[in-house]
Amino acid sequence: MATVLLTSEKFVKSFTNIDDNMSAAYLLPAVRESQDVELTIYLGNALVSRLKGLVQSGEIKQEGFEIYREILEKAQYFLAYSAIAKVIPIAGVKITNFGITQAQDENIRTLGVEDIPTVIGWYAKKADSYARELLRFVLSNKGSIPELDECACGQMKAHLNSSASSGLFLGGPRGKRLR
């Protein structure tokens, strides 16, 4: 099955500060994971599947699909920043037969492991900001999007109240005691 990406390597490199030399082998899986996990969590499986289908068939460029084009356009920055947040931990290391290795060069100083979460957090916050804009747009146009049912809209409204990523475990089973 062909993988359909809703943003491109070219867009991510052109509109963010990621280096043009970033390997597609790192960046494209991060883009795919961003759309298949995070974007699907925010927009729901039905809408993301519809967007992928329209992109794959080329129909998204045709008349009558303007709302989907706008959703896709608004999702670009979210996907870009989300992908960068995912690629940061893996870009500086390689997994080899010898274990995990890190390239060292006398002209390049890599960021220390203790500083990486700060950088990831910055990009994740940018992605969260764009996710909030995207959700507001989709909810304000829900009448034009047949893939959205009340359940999906309810989930989107819940994400609007807390569209920030967190490394903390903020919940668990209700009414159950942990022993």
CA atoms within 13 Å, Cβ hemisphere of 77: 16
Cα–Cα distance for residue pair 104/100, rounded to 1 Å: 13
Helix (DSSP H) and strand (DSSP E) numbers for the chain:
7, 2
What pLDDT tens digit does each residue of the chain (179 aa) get?
A: 578 999 999 999 999 999 999 999 999 999 999 999 999 999 999 999 999 999 999 999 999 999 999 999 999 999 999 999 999 888 877 777 877 666 666 656 666 777 778 888 888 999 998 999 999 999 999 999 999 888 888 888 888 776 556 555 555 454 455 55
Q: How many residues are listed for the chain in this entry?
A: 179
pLDDT at 107: 59
pLDDT at 1: 52
Nearest residue to 86 via CA among 142, 28, 14, 131 = 28
Three-state SS at 2: coil
Are the CB atoms for 3 and 35 separated by under 8 Å? no
pTM of the predicted model, to two decimals? Answer: 0.81
Report DSSP state, residue 17: S
pLDDT at 108: 60
Burial code of 121-130, b = ≥16 C-beta within 10 A, e = fewer? eebbebbbeb
Burial code of 150-175, b = ≥16 C-beta within 10 A, e = fewer? eebbebbeebeeebebeeeeeeeeee
| E strand or H helix at 99 | strand 99-102
Could you give the angle at the alpha carbon of 75 between the alpha carbons of 74 and 77, nearest 5°?
Answer: 90
Residue with tokens 């499986």: 45
Cα–Cα distance for residue pair 172/143, rounded to 1 Å: 34
